[in-house]
Chain A
């Protein structure tokens, strides 16, 4: 038993959500042809097909690049603090890839661990994620290597599967997803969209974890990551990277305290007030990123901090990213690359 929706009806539905005042986030063509997840103004901007993955991720729906957490004002010698209410505007993410959606349950651990982040949780509760199962993939995709796949349902509230003749099969995954498409779909018992196998498995996470445990000080880090330039193109566009910085922005009258994205790849990230930097060279920063994703986070929360979307590799100006680093690590682990 399948339920389907015609693409035109889907787009009309998107416009209806917008008319209801909901925030709708989806892949759009920006600037010089780059596909990015961005807030939609109309369904006509939405690009559902014809690309493998957007150049960024959907994490902005729950964890914006910059978020005010409170404001302050100076009144003579007094300081007046004002809370900022968490944003619980209803938000629908449409056209996400399963590897994007899968990051949300992973992020939930972090934002509800020792401290429950009310800003994250409010946005998370107000967000409904509609994914499109992948029918194509490229050399940078490796979802199957981290236990996901082209139609993995983790984090999705509903999933669309592209059927012939301008139809989408709609699979509701959660109650939110069911409610979203309730009464909008047509039963079509004859349509059953086959699911692609996805990219071939490229490494084994158990092998990687073993390597990471035993090779913290290995020279392999230096050799593999020598070309890393230390930008945040990988981390900022990663669906699971979640580091942030807290800064005050204001003037003599007052200002705001903001939570901004930050990246472990920046040289300034770990600089102490004393001037000492425990991660003094880029190799140590790359090691941190990989160790965090494939050993530290799994040990702490039982989930890998990577969904195999390949966005880091696609964005990396020097073709590094998680995949190429892990493949190089796997080669070292197999002994096929000699460490200098």
Chain B
């Protein structure tokens, strides 16, 4: 699993209760294997995922963050994911202006039926993050703030 330096990326995935979490469940019941680098946090809806959580996640040492929920049209609460889509469109611009490493922040629509997509997405994200290495720039900031 680990590369020569022993680096194992830490990834936190914020997923919605109704689609992506069930997608992960499906991956599990289908015995689809994916890297154990991802820690899943279940929230009611992507519309509930506060941007401060993403920042906190990096502060606590994550190397990448995933946000995933229902496909457009499928939201359990009708429109939570539409609101989220707008919010992340703007938030990504802000982070880009601040010079965040944007390839450490991932978004996906994964439905309850997409166990396979969940597996692939987690695997790809883990491999990409492994290639990037630890998020040193952010860790330096946290280190300097002790």
Interface residues of A (CB under 8 A from B): 68, 251, 256
Interface residues of B (CB under 8 A from A): 60, 146
CB distance from A248 to the nearest CB of B (A): 14
| A68–B146 touching, CB < 8 Å | yes
Chain B facing A: main interface SS: loop
Which residues of chain B are within 8 angstroms of A251 by Cβ–Cβ distance? 60
Which residues of chain A are within 8 angstroms of B60 by Cβ–Cβ distance? 251
- B59 closest partner in A (C-beta): A251
Which residues of chain B are within 8 angstroms of A68 by Cβ–Cβ distance? 146
**What are 3 of the A-B contact pairs (CB < 8 Å)?**
A68-B146, A251-B60, A256-B146
- A252 closest partner in B (C-beta): B60
Which residues of chain B are within 8 angstroms of A256 by Cβ–Cβ distance? 146
**Distance A251 CA – B61 CA, assembled complex (angstroms):** 12
CB distance from B26 to the nearest CB of A (A): 30
Which residues of chain A are within 8 angstroms of B146 by Cβ–Cβ distance? 68, 256
CB distance from B30 to the nearest CB of A (A): 33
- A255 closest partner in B (C-beta): B146
Give the 3 A-B CB pairs with smallest separation, nearest first. Answer: A251-B60, A256-B146, A68-B146
**Distance A256 CA – B146 CA, assembled complex (angstroms):** 8
**Distance A68 CA – B60 CA, assembled complex (angstroms):** 19
CB distance from B108 to the nearest CB of A (A): 27
- A71 closest partner in B (C-beta): B146
CB distance from A249 to the nearest CB of B (A): 9
CB distance from A71 to the nearest CB of B (A): 8
**Distance A148 CA – B87 CA, assembled complex (angstroms):** 54
CB distance from A311 to the nearest CB of B (A): 26
- A68 closest partner in B (C-beta): B146
- B60 closest partner in A (C-beta): A251
- A253 closest partner in B (C-beta): B60
**Distance A307 CA – B28 CA, assembled complex (angstroms):** 68
- A256 closest partner in B (C-beta): B146
CB distance from A191 to the nearest CB of B (A): 45
CB distance from A326 to the nearest CB of B (A): 38
CB distance from B55 to the nearest CB of A (A): 14
**Distance A68 CA – B144 CA, assembled complex (angstroms):** 13
**Distance A256 CA – B60 CA, assembled complex (angstroms):** 15
**Distance A251 CA – B60 CA, assembled complex (angstroms):** 8
**Distance A68 CA – B146 CA, assembled complex (angstroms):** 8
**Distance A256 CA – B145 CA, assembled complex (angstroms):** 11
